[in-house]
Amino acid sequence: MTAEKIKEIVAQMTLEEKAAMCSGADFWHTEAVARLGIPASMVSDGPHGLRKQDQEGDHLGVNESIKAVCFPAGCGTAASFNRELLRTMGETLGSECQAEGVSVILGPAVNIKRSPLCGRNFEYYSEDPLVASEMAGALISGVQSKNVGTSIKHFLANNQETRRMSSDSRIDERTLHEIYLAAFEGAVKKAKPWTVMCSYNKINGTYAAGNYQYLTETLRDQWGFDGYVMSDWGAVNSRVEDLKAGLDLEMPSSGGVNDKLIVGAVESGELSGEVLDTAVERILNIVYRYEENRDRNVVFDRDKDHEMARRVAEETIVLLKNDDILPLSEQAEIAFIGKYAMKPRYQGGGSSHINSHKVTSAMEAVKGMGNITFAVGYDDQADQTDEKLLEEAVETAKRAKAAVIFAGLPDAFESEGFDRKHMAMPDCQNELIEKVAEAQPNTIVVLHNGSPVEMPWVNKVKGIVEAYLGGQAVGAAVCDILFGRVNPSAKLPETFPLKLEDNPSYLSYIGEEDVVEYREGIFVGYRYYDKKKMEVLFPFGYGLSYTTFSYDHLSVDKERMKDTEVMTVSVDVTNTGNMAGKEVVQLYVADRESTVIRPVKELRDFAKVELAPGEKKTVTFTLDKRAFAYYSVRLHDWHVETGEFDLMIGKSSRDIVLTRTVTVESTVRLPMVYTTDTTMGDVKKNPRAWEIAREVLKKDKDLFGGQEEAESEAASEAISAEMNAAMEEYMPLRGPVNFGGQVTMADVQALVDRLNALEE
Active site residues: 232
Closest CA to 33 of 55, 54, 9: 9
Backbone phi, then psi, for 597, in 5-degree steps?
-75, 125
Closest CA to 602 of 521, 531, 520, 503: 531
HEC secondary structure over 674-721? CCCCCEHHHHCCCHHHHHHHHHHHCCCHHHHHHHHHHHCCCHHHHHHH
Q: Which amino acid is at 711?
A: E
The torsion angle over the Cα atoms of residues 709, 710, 714 and 716, rounded to 10 degrees, is: 160
Closest CA to 201 of 520, 514, 518, 506: 514
With beta carbons less than 8 A apart as the criterion, state whether 143 and 131 touch.
Answer: no
List C-alpha distances in Å: 555 to 110, 243, 329, 563, 657.
33, 51, 41, 19, 14
The torsion angle over the Cα atoms of residues 472, 473, 476 and 479, rounded to 10 degrees, is: -70
Cα 211 from Cα 377, distance rounded (Å):
51
Cα 547 from Cα 581, distance rounded (Å):
7
In sequence order, the 6+-apart residues with CB closer than 8 A to the CB of 367 are none
Cα 725 from Cα 615, distance rounded (Å):
59
The torsion angle over the Cα atoms of residues 649, 109, 213 and 211, rounded to 10 degrees, is: -160
With beta carbons less than 8 A apart as the criterion, state whether 647 and 587 touch.
Answer: yes
* 515-517 vs 463-466, strand pairing mode: unpaired
Q: Which amino acid is at 133?
A: S
Helix, strand, coil abundance in the chain, percent, nearest 5:
35, 20, 45
Specify which residues 198 forms β-bridges with.
155, 231
The secondary structure of 454-508 as a DSSP string is --TTTTT-SEEEE--S--TTHHHHHHHHHTTSS------SS-B-SSGGGSTTTTT
Q: Which amino acid is at 416?
A: E
